[in-house]
Structure 1
């Protein structure tokens, strides 16, 4: 038996843990991209969309490992 919840409960509504994890990872990677632009680190990046997706995947792995435990 898996000790981690398979669904998150908000009142009487059950949702998959993927939804808050994706939303939080998206907003964290958006903040990271804004920070990279402000620090002018994004000029060293060739494919900005791929780097954004890689940062988002990195945040998804961190959220999964430390908070929600989807897998």
Structure 2
């Protein structure tokens, strides 16, 4: 998917320098940054919230 985003000139300069240093495109660096942020914040929450109710009792179970 392509999208338009406004990035401050200072950040764009930094991004261009990193792209030159690593031999990657701006787009590749942005994709990597999004993937890293998603991993850091738990993505869609499945891994983050899996088992969250494991200690709760159901209507037919005694409370723990």
TM-score in same-fold range (> 0.5): no
Q: Which has the higher strand share?
A: 1
- TM-score, L = length of structure 1: 0.35
- TM-score, L = length of structure 2: 0.38
Larger Rg computed on CA atoms: 2
